[in-house]
Amino acid sequence: MVIKIERYFSYPDLKRQTPNHSMKWGDFTFTEDAVEECDYLVILEYPKKDFSIQVNKNNIIHICLEPANEVSKYRQYANKNVKLIFNQLDIKKNNILSHGALPWHIDKDFDFLQDLKVESLQKENKIVWVTSNQRTSKGHNKRMDFLDRIKPLPFVHLYGRGINPIDDKWEVLNTAKYAIAYENFQSDYNWTEKITDCLLSYTMPLYFGCNRIEEFFPKGSFIQIDPNDKHIDLFLKEIVNSNKWEENLDAISKARDLILNEYQLFPFLVNQIKTLGLEKSDAVNTPKELVHFKGGNAYFDNYPIIITIEKEIFKLKRKIETYIPKF
């Protein structure tokens, strides 16, 4: 059984999330090669360029990676050829509400992380935050406002693109007991590598984002923060001076195992295919046909007219904000 993965981004290398970089998970084989046919086609967000492939049209899966915010909401509807969409917005047709099984961004592979023992790490009583200065959405702006509030705190160390660039998040996260994980959009299912990178590094996330995050990760494996808390400085200082990391290592370890063996892309897809019965012989052996997909933004051909209107209004507001002086 061959599962073809199509995506627009090249980093990170997905092979590293499988044992021995094998691109296998159990009895399932995955590929990103330019094959002529496959048993399943999985599209992560959208393809980089136009392509065609022989596949059973009932076995085409789309996973939304970007949040349903004002910038990328239209992507939640995917493409007309897609049979099943895993997304964060109930579009009332062929979708399952789910997290996006996003790849982790720390530059370590599955085997290393699976074998990693917390005792091998030198953890310090500090809070780190690896983020960027991106401001393309309302959520990005709010995140930067929060960053400006806590920047003066001596026990908070900031890194990331446009702030204090680093080559690999691991070099920062593996040394800290605590790290801020702030999603740029708040909803019921949107959580990303921002929290998983922390947990995989045995770092306790100070988290803001997914409204239902406690349904995904064990109690004690993270601490939720309120960016609007007027006393956030005192709250963060109390955490640094506490033993919460030591007291919750078991919960953090359980969260790591969930990420590595259930939530990340490969076990996620295998479990979904098995749960939905898509791996049965009648689903795999049915006739395949040549299906064509547009690459880039042209891939998204399935969203309703109201989304188009919302997109144009958002663009207009952005233009107005650009030309009106700020006082």
Is the pLDDT assigned to residue 327 strictly greater than 60?
no
How far apart CA 302 and CA 82 sit, in angstroms, is: 10
Q: So what's the pLDDT on residue 311?
A: 81
Q: What is the dihedral of CA 185, 202, 130, 166, to 10 degrees?
A: -140
- In angstroms, the CA 229 to CA 202 distance is 26
| Residue, of 308 and 266, whose pLDDT is higher | 266
What's residue 318's pLDDT? Answer: 78
Residue 291's Cβ-count burial label (10 Å; 0-12, 13-18, 19+) is: middle
Angle between helices 249-258 and 193-200 (to 10 degrees): 120
Across the beta sheet with 2-7, the strand order is 24-25, 28-31, 2-7, 40-44, 60-63, 84-87, 95-97
Average pLDDT over residues 141-160: 95
| Domains of the chain and CATH, by start | 2-102+265-314 (no CATH), 110-259 (3.40.50.11660)
pLDDT digits (tens, 9 = 90+) for 2-52: 999 999 999 999 999 999 999 999 999 999 999 999 999 999 999 999 999
Contacts of 149 (CB under 8 A, 6+ apart): 232, 233
pTM of the model: 0.94
**Higher-scoring residue by pLDDT: 315, 172:** 172
Using an 8 Å Cβ cutoff, are 59 and 291 in contact?
no
> For residue 33, which of 6, 10, 52 has the smallest C-alpha distance?
6
CA dihedral 21, 26, 31, 32 (to 10 degrees): -60
Average pLDDT, the chain: 95
Residues 262-285 have a mean pLDDT of: 85
pLDDT tens across 104-124, in order? 999 999 999 999 999 999 999
Mean pLDDT to the nearest integer, 280-304: 89
Q: What is the pLDDT of residue 279?
A: 65
Using the structure block, give the residue that is written with the tokens 């997304």: 87
* Residue whose C-alpha is closest to residue 15's, from 40, 33, 42, 1: 33
